[in-house]
Amino acid sequence: MYLGLNSVVTDTERAGQQGFTAVSYLDRAVHFGFPSSAIADGVSAAYYTTTSTSETQYGQTLVNEWLSGVYHAPVLLTPITKIGVGEYETAFNGSPEVWGSLTLADTSMQQLTTSGPITFPCQGTTGVPPKSYLENPTPPNTSGPWGTPVVVMGNATDTIVLTSGTMTDPSGNVINLQLLYSANDPNKLIQPYEAVAYPATPLAANTTYTVNVSGTVNGNTFTKPPYTFTTGNIVW
């Protein structure tokens, strides 16, 4: 509600503004009963549409916006299972404007049961947005829309460094991915246990790509077996 009432997309609230609850995602989680030692983070977004649609579609568009963001997707995919979502609607020039915020909070992160880090998209994922734009902060080494980010996620105590990443389209064209992890993140937002590999330009819609990603976890090398995912035709 805070976002829509104040017409602003932000992760932090300001005291005295309409709908104020608490400043940060953790502060708001504590307000609703979590201990101050909890782990909490979140994402926010908004979008404008010229036609009314279903509440389901509003929610799906917000999720697509988050999953296609280089900085937003890792937050959304953090292995925490207690999640709160808020959605609020206003009007702009007589058409719907949708505001959304998602908070993840718990006393600890889940322990991954697989060996090595996991990824999203993963093998067989379909329908992911082929491009995104206007993220704050802007992903490094982009000058316009970028393609589907691949999130590499480890356990809470892991430190992940990426050393190589590619996507290959059905014609055999190889796309060298941008590699973002905590040690080289100019915005200091990527956590040590996560990393992102992403194309600096958009992918094609309705197309299957093969992903190769390598790096280190706590100094030990890993290479994810090549896998495929397929883009959709949704651009939020």
Quote the CA–CA distance of 230 and 125 in Å, as a whole number. 6
What pLDDT tens digit does each residue of the chain (236 aa) get? 999 999 999 999 999 999 999 999 999 999 999 999 999 999 999 998 888 788 899 999 999 999 999 999 999 999 999 999 999 999 988 889 999 999 999 999 999 877 789 999 999 999 999 999 999 999 999 999 999 999 999 999 999 999 999 999 999 999 999 999 999 999 999 999 999 999 999 999 999 999 999 999 999 999 999 999 999 998 66
CB 222 within 8 A of CB 163: no
Element (H, E) at 33: none
Which tokens is 105 given? Answer: 């909070």
**DSSP 3-state of 71:** coil
Structural domains in the chain, CATH included, are: 2-106 (3.40.33), 118-231 (2.60.40.3780)
> Of 138, 133, 149, 174, which is closest to residue 47 (Cα–Cα)?
133
Q: Cβ contacts of residue 211 below 8 Å, gap of 6+?
A: 119, 121, 150, 165, 166, 167, 197, 224, 226, 227, 228, 229
Q: pTM for this structure?
A: 0.94
> Of 50, 30, 58, which is closest to residue 93 (Cα–Cα)?
50
